[in-house]
Amino acid sequence: MTFLQISKTGTNQQIAVIELNRPEARNAFNTQLATEILETLQSISKSDARVVVISSSNPKAFCSGADLKERNGMTEEEWKAQHKLFEEMFYAIADLPQPVIAAVDGFALAGGFEIVLNCDFIVAAQTATFGLPEATRGIMPGGGGTRLLPKRVGVHIAKEWVCTGRMVTAEEAEKAGLLNRLTSSEKLLDEAYELAEMLAKNAPIAVQNCKKAVDSLFGMEDIQARKEELVFYNHCVNTEDRLEGVLAFVEKRAPQFAGK
C-alpha cells in the first residue's frame, strides 16, 4: 500500500506535487511512509521538475509526526535505526535542489512540523495548527526543530514553542514570521500553486543557486560570505539561460528558460 500520491501540475509539467495520504493516522509517518517520501524525493532531485509542493489529502492534518503506535515496544536499537531513516527523509527535503513548498492545513505536529520546517516556503490555511510537543513526551525534536525554527521566528520564540510544547495557531505563526502566505482552506492549494508557478517560470539554475546561496550564506561571517556568494553567482553567469534572459528583455518578450 502506498501512502503517497504523486503528480505534476502546471502548463509545462514542471511542478511536482507530493500528497501525503495516510488519513486514518493523520499522516503520521511510519517506516513505509518515510521510505516512500525519501525515495520520491531522490527521484525528483534527478528529474526536470522545477518546484515541489508537499500537501495532504486530509484537511484535518498535514502530518502528526512519527507513528508512535509503530514505535511502541521498539528496542533502543530499532528506535535509533528508524530515526536514522527519518533523518534521511528530513535532510532529503532540505537538500533537494529544487525549492519545496509546504501547503499546510490541519495539524503539523512534531516530525510533521519538522517536515514543514525543512521546506523552503510555507503556505498555511487559517485552520492550520503547528507544534513541537516532544518535550511533553520526554524527548526533543530530532529532525530540525531546534535548528531550523529559530531561523524563521527568532531564538526567544523558538525556545518558548519548543520548551513548552504548546500548540500554535496559524495566526500566531503568521505574526511570528513563520509563514510565507496565510489563506483559507479553500484557497490553500491555489495559493501554493500560484507561488510554485512564479518559481517554475524562472531560470531553474538561477533559482536553485539562489536557494543554495541563502541556505549556505545565512549566519556565515560576511567576509567569507562575500566570496561564496560570487561562486553561486558565477554558476548562473555561465549558462544559456542567462543569455536567454538578456535577449528576452531586449526583445520585450517572456523568456523561455531551458535549464541550461
Q: How many other C-beta atoms lie within 10 A of the C-beta of residue 136? A: 11
Backbone region of residue 200 per phi and psi (left: phi > 0; alpha: psi in -120 to 50; beta: other values): alpha
Please provide the DSSP assignment of 221-245 as one string.
-HHHHHHHHHHHHHHHHTSHHHHHH
Record the cell numbers describing residue 209, joined without a space.
Answer: 543557486
Q: Is 240 a catalytic residue?
A: no
What are the residues whose beta carbons fall under 8 Å from the beta carbon of 69, sequence distance 6 or more? 25, 28
Q: Is 111 a catalytic residue?
A: yes
Q: Is 65 a catalytic residue?
A: no
From the candidates 66, 124, 200, 213, give the one annotated as an active-site residue. Answer: 66
From the candidates 134, 145, 191, 245, give the one annotated as an active-site residue. Answer: 134
Query: For the chain, first and last CA: distance in Å?
Result: 38
Q: Is 125 a catalytic residue?
A: no
Buried b (16+ CB within 10 A) or exposed e, 5-33: eeeebbeeebbbbbbbbbeebbbbbbbeb
From the candidates 114, 170, 203, 245, give the one annotated as an active-site residue. Answer: 114
From the candidates 65, 111, 112, 144, give the one annotated as an active-site residue. Answer: 111
CA 124 to the chain's CA centroid: 12
Query: Catalytic residue numbers?
Result: 66, 111, 114, 134
